[in-house]
Amino acid sequence: MSPARPAAVVVLAAGEGTRMKSAIPKVLHAVGGRSLVHHAVAAAAQLAPEHLVVVVGHGRDQVKAHLAEVAPEARTAVQDQQLGTGHAVACALADLPDLHGTVVVTYGDTPLLTGATLLELVATHADRGNAVTVLTGELDDPTGYGRILRDASGAVVAVVEQKDASEEQRAIREVNSGIYAFDAAVLAETLARLTTDNAQGELYLTDVVGIVSGRGERVAALPVTDLWQTAGVNDRVQLAAVHRELNRRTVEAWMLAGVTVVDPATTWVDADVTLEPDVVLEPGTLLQGRTSVGRGAVVGPDCRLVDTEVGEGAEVSNTTSYGAVIGAGATVGPYTYLRPGTRLGRKAKAGGFTELKNAELGDGAKVPHLSYVGDASIGAGTNIGAGTIFANYDGVTKHHTEVGEHSFVGSNSVLVAPLEIADGAYVAAGSAVTARVEPGELAVARGKQRNIRGWVARRRAGSRTAAAAERAEHSGAHAEQGDPTRQHHEHDQRKGRDA
């Protein structure tokens, strides 16, 4: 076993988190598209420990189910009663074989802690031969934190909790992060000696420091200047604060990698999003889940893309998308809704005020505006006119519509599924199509227009509409009297009707 590889990492995640005032366990609240505990185990996993153990308690079934999805390599240990951090670690070790090497202890509510910092902690611990190494930070206001006590030589001798500290000790600004590296044998032996002789009546993990130091074994601190890494979440205010800071770091990292972010303050990018160089993110953009954006694509303004793939050079504006694939060079928006199962081919278009669900547009196909396309395949080069509805649901079952390549569907048509429109076919505007249209055919499915003369005068007498019609007829009559050609045309029309 490499000295840098710990025997175990223990993530403490059993607390109820009452200050969150939530039915959801605290560690399942999300920042940057991941739960708090997901961030914690992702950082821990970078150490490649022999054992990764998450201690669960409150909401254990929910937390276990979540961990099985996001970190199947992690095992769980149950802390039935929250009797302190020392008790929680003891619960973790009870589920493990005898350990040799380093045991790291961290928390399930510190989402900004990085794997790099944990690697430095483990390396420092091993290189110096410490029995205990604690991660510390210096705060202007250390209220609420355990204080690091040092002797005259600067060696760490103890950690004292806020409630147990004297006034002199409370003035100390160096605080305990609660994140440690322990020699496994030392930790196991010392945990058995902890007592509840403190203000909380709990088994403090911090007391291990005093016990180990008191018998002359080496205890050291690794100070960190990036205090956000040790910031825990106890309420919704802190949740928002760490989310904002995580997003700032994420967006900044993408900008340094070659992404243009026009307004970082209004751009939110989840931890699992991937972006290629020369992507442009306009203001008001939210990229969530496992969204990916290809080189040179422009997203925004005002977009929310969740688990969406955006191809190279595509343009997406004012769009909400869930689980869609947007091809290279395609255009989407404005005010477009792409639902799961939607796939847009190369240079395809889903225009303004359109909704697509489980729909595939071939290369160059267009749904320019004001249409609903559900459960459909549209061939390359086909154009769907404005206001077209793919009527996919009969009240019981969803049905599919197939529109071939280089076909044309006129505006305000209804395509009633199941339906097939072949390659190179036309549908006349305003049609309600229910039967197959063969290649090269024009489908016309609408009633013949009939104009009822004098209807307004009879049914809307005295209205502004009737007055306007009367004026128009009067002016039209005068115009006809002065136009011999029109008079002759009308005479021919009358003769034709009389015949």
Is residue 428 a contact partner of residue 443, using CB atoms and an 8 Å limit?
Answer: yes
Is residue 10 a contact partner of residue 106, using CB atoms and an 8 Å limit?
Answer: yes
> Residue 226: which region, alpha, beta or left (left: phi > 0; alpha: psi -120 to 50)?
beta
Of the candidates 9, 242, 221, the one whose C-alpha atom is nearest the C-alpha of residue 110 is 242
**Which residues lie below 8 Å from residue 138, measured CB to CB, with a gap of 6+?**
173, 174, 175, 223
> Residue 162: CA atoms inside 13 Å, Cβ hemisphere, count?
8
Is residue 221 a contact partner of residue 138, using CB atoms and an 8 Å limit?
Answer: no
**Torsion from C-alpha of 404, 406, 411, 416, nearest 10 degrees:** 0
In the annotation, is 369 catalytic? yes
Secondary-structure breakdown of the chain: helix, strand, coil percentages, each rounded to the nearest 5: 30, 30, 45
Other C-beta atoms closer than 10 Å to the C-beta of 483 total 12
CA distances from 216 to 125, 233, 295 (A): 16, 35, 58
CA distances from 304 to 34, 149, 251, 333 (A): 17, 49, 16, 12
Residues linked to residue 402 through DSSP beta bridges, in sequence order? 377, 420
Kindly state the helix (H) or strand (E) to which residue 239 belongs, with its residue range: helix 236-256
User: What is the DSSP secondary-structure string of 448-478?
Assistant: PP---TTHHHHHSTTSHHHHHHHHHHHHHHH
Active-site residue, selected from the candidate residues 39, 125, 243, 369: 369
Report the alpha-carbon angle 299-303-308, nearest 5.
Answer: 75
**Which residues lie below 8 Å from residue 20, measured CB to CB, with a gap of 6+?**
26, 29, 234, 235, 236, 239
Is residue 155 a contact partner of residue 220, using CB atoms and an 8 Å limit?
Answer: yes
3-class secondary-structure state, position 251: helix
Q: Which amino acid is at 123?
A: A
**Which residues lie below 8 Å from residue 223, measured CB to CB, with a gap of 6+?**
136, 137, 138, 174
Of the candidates 477, 398, 387, the one whose C-alpha atom is nearest the C-alpha of residue 432 is 387
Active site residues: 369
